[in-house]
Amino acid sequence: MAVNVEYQKIHVLGDSEAVDASKQIVMLESPSEDEISLIDLYLVLVKHKKIMAIVIAVVLMLGAFYALSKTKVYNYSVSIQIGKMLAGKAQSEGLQSIESPDAVLSKITESYIPYILNQYVSQHPGEGVPAIKAKLLKNSDIILLESKAPENATLQSLLMQSVVDRVLADHKPLTDVMKSRYDTELSNAQISLAQIQSPVNIQAKLTPLEIALQRSVTQKKMLVNDQVNRVRRQKYMTEMQSRENRLLSLADESGYLTIQMKRLDQVDKMLEQQISVLSQSIERALANRKVSIKKIDDPSTAMTALLLDNQLQADRSRLNGLQERLTVKQKNLREKLANNIKKNTRAVEYEKTLIKDLKNNLLKMNIDDENKLADLGAVIAEKQLIIKKLKLDRQVQTARQEQAIKNISFKLAGLNETRALTETVKSMLPVGVSSKLIVVLSLFAGLFLAVFIAFALEFMEKVKQRTSQSEV
């Protein structure tokens, strides 16, 4: 057995004069602990085997009691399959979900489940809140709702069914609208097909074409008719004569307007003269009035002054009326007359233009008739071709409408509502840690705790021995 010498540095606290030095190094010789070996460990365990057996038995009994007394928990689940609809117009486009599975999952986890649980808590305060989890199955459009509860628990089923009902209620208006739209489209397409195939509708399309063709043929005959052409020329001549008469009338009206403008100038001069004379008269009257006021000394003189004031007031009113007529009324009449002159000038130019156009139209009538004959020939040929192609178009429209009906029927068949695949399903076996595993774990826990207690007791005995040796 090896012996080691340990050197310990002892710091002495207190007065430095009570000892030789403030610090002393004392050499203590103490035997080192024996080297740890498996045999030593075994001996320690054998020494405390009774205590270890008691600890293991107690822990194992507690584990067995817990395993036998704990309530069995089962997994309750329900699956929701998100509805689908046709992604495009063609069958090759495939189906797509009515709503993104991730979006539905977010609604369930962030809105529906918290809302339903809050309602449950408000209606049943003090009771535990059941846990409901939702997850999206990989590479699918199926959302799985899960909850753990004891056997024959109906609360989880009711709560998860409430979540399912909310998802279905959220998607039902959309699927109803889509189904109604597809039904309407299908009905309209079938009605359109019946209209296309109806003989009455075919005849209704042929009749306008035949009438238009006959009308074009009649127009062509009219263009080559000499009597009709003479009547048309006479119409142009009559119209030109009417426009020339109108031009003469406008010329007379222009002369009248010119005379009226000159009369306005004369009236302006007369008004200016009257205003000038009346202004001078008023100035003289004002001067006489000042003199009369100074000489008023009897009733007759006062009456004369009053009459002069009345006359002065009348002259002023008359002067204002003349000035208003000159600056306002005469100006308005002049502007109105100027506008009439402009209108007359424009009307003259317009009539001249019309007469010129009539002459040009008359000269070009023969050329126009030739062009119309050529156009009518093309129109007649075109309408004949349209009539020939009508039956072929009917066949093409029928085929297209039948294909449209097939596409709508495919979309209607591809519209699947969101639904719960099954009712709430309980797992066949309990979930969680099994009773056997709990007993096994209890055995290992007891063994570990027993070993720990054995070493702890051995450690305490060593400490007591060291303490006793130190005191000696």
Host H or E run for residue 135: strand 133-136
Residue 20 is predicted with a pLDDT of: 45
The more confident residue out of 330 and 110 is: 110
Asked if residue 463 is part of any domain, the answer here is yes
Host H or E run for residue 191: helix 155-197
- Please enumerate in sequence order all residues whose Cβ is within 8 A of that of 308, keeping only pairs 6 or more positions apart, or say none: 285, 288, 289, 292
d(CA 367, CA 421): 82
d(CA 105, CA 299): 114
Counting the structural domains of the chain, the total is 3
Residues 130 and 268 occupy one common structural domain:
no
The phi and psi torsions of 15 (rounded to 5 degrees) equal: -70, 130
Residue ranges in 295-433 assigned as alpha helix (H):
299-324, 330-414
**Residue 90: is its pLDDT beyond 80?**
no
Tell me the three state secondary structure of residue 23. strand
Using a 10 angstrom Cβ sphere, with 0-12 exposed, 13-18 middle and 19 or more buried, the burial of residue 41 is middle
Q: How crowded is residue 331: how many other Cβ atoms within 10 Å of its Cβ?
A: 13
Residue ranges in 224-329 assigned as alpha helix (H):
226-294, 299-324
Residue-wise DSSP of 14-49:
S-GGGSS-SEEEEEEE-PPPPPP-HHHHHHHHHHTH
User: Cα–Cα distances in Å, from 181 out to 29, 115, 259, 405, 406?
Assistant: 102, 33, 77, 13, 15
Residue 17 is predicted with a pLDDT of: 41
| Residues 11-36 pLDDT 10s | 333 444 444 444 444 444 444 444 55
Tell me the three state secondary structure of residue 54. helix
Q: Quote the longest CA-to-CA distance of the chain.
A: 170
The phi and psi torsions of 327 (rounded to 5 degrees) equal: -90, -25
Task: Take residue 293 and report the two structure tokens written for it.
Answer: 């006021």
Task: Take residue 198 and report the two structure tokens written for it.
Answer: 């109806």
Residue 352 is predicted with a pLDDT of: 85
Task: Take residue 188 and report the two structure tokens written for it.
Answer: 């309209």
Handedness of CA 268, 270, 273, 277 (dihedral sign): negative
| Residues 271-288 pLDDT 10s | 888 888 878 777 777 776
| Residues 141-157 pLDDT 10s | 888 888 887 766 677 78
Please give the average per-residue pLDDT across 88-111, as a whole number. Answer: 77
Residue ranges in 415-472 assigned as alpha helix (H):
435-471
| Residues 177-192 pLDDT 10s | 888 888 888 889 888 8
| Residues 284-332 pLDDT 10s | 777 766 666 655 556 666 666 666 677 777 777 777 877 777 777 878 8
d(CA 64, CA 55): 14
| Residues 201-227 pLDDT 10s | 778 878 888 888 888 888 888 777 778
In the chain, % of residues over pLDDT 90: 0
In the chain, % of residues over pLDDT 70: 81
Residues 301 and 389 occupy one common structural domain:
yes
Residue 7 is predicted with a pLDDT of: 37
Residue 292 is predicted with a pLDDT of: 63
Residues 243 and 345 occupy one common structural domain:
yes
Residue 3 is predicted with a pLDDT of: 36
Tell me the three state secondary structure of residue 383. helix
Average pLDDT along the chain: 77
Amino acid occupying residue 158: L
With CA atoms as reference, report the closest residue to 190 among 423, 413, 408, 460. 408
Residue 88 is predicted with a pLDDT of: 58
Asked if residue 202 is part of any domain, the answer here is no
Residues 54 and 164 occupy one common structural domain:
no
Please give the average per-residue pLDDT across 118-134, as a whole number. Answer: 80
Handedness of CA 172, 175, 179, 180 (dihedral sign): positive
Residues 48 and 79 occupy one common structural domain:
no
Residue 472 is predicted with a pLDDT of: 59
Asked if residue 16 is part of any domain, the answer here is no
Asked if residue 13 is part of any domain, the answer here is no
| Contact call for residues 446 and 58 (beta carbons, < 8 A) | yes
| Contact call for residues 95 and 89 (beta carbons, < 8 A) | no
**Residue 355: is its pLDDT beyond 60?**
yes
Asked if residue 251 is part of any domain, the answer here is yes
Residue 433 is predicted with a pLDDT of: 60
Residues in the chain: 472
Q: Give the domain CATH number at 179.
A: 3.30.70.1130
d(CA 405, CA 408): 5
d(CA 289, CA 23): 141
* Radius of gyration for the chain, computed over Cα atoms and rounded to the nearest angstrom: 60
Asked if residue 462 is part of any domain, the answer here is yes
Residues 226 and 252 occupy one common structural domain:
yes
Host H or E run for residue 148: strand 142-150
**Residue 64: is its pLDDT beyond 80?**
no
Asked if residue 3 is part of any domain, the answer here is no
d(CA 203, CA 390): 10
Residue 305 is predicted with a pLDDT of: 62
Asked whether the whole model's pTM tops 0.75, one would answer no
| Contact call for residues 412 and 161 (beta carbons, < 8 A) | no
| Contact call for residues 127 and 159 (beta carbons, < 8 A) | no
Residues 155 and 125 occupy one common structural domain:
yes
d(CA 176, CA 179): 5
Tell me the three state secondary structure of residue 93. helix
Please give the average per-residue pLDDT across 124-141, as a whole number. Answer: 81
| Residues 361-409 pLDDT 10s | 878 887 877 888 888 888 888 888 888 888 888 888 888 888 888 888 8
pLDDT band for 61, please (50, 70, 90 cuts).
confident
Host domain of residue 462: 34-69+433-471
d(CA 399, CA 341): 70
Q: How crowded is residue 242: how many other Cβ atoms within 10 Å of its Cβ?
A: 14
Q: What CA dihedral angle connects 426, 429, 430 and 435, to 10 degrees?
A: 170
Residue 36 is predicted with a pLDDT of: 56
**Residue 75: is its pLDDT beyond 60?**
yes
Residues 309 and 331 occupy one common structural domain:
yes
Residues 177 and 276 occupy one common structural domain:
no
With CA atoms as reference, report the closest residue to 44 among 452, 449, 465. 452
Strands 95-97 and 84-86, by their bridges, are: antiparallel
Asked if residue 259 is part of any domain, the answer here is yes
Residues 343 and 446 occupy one common structural domain:
no
Residues 377 and 297 occupy one common structural domain:
yes
Residues 261 and 334 occupy one common structural domain:
yes
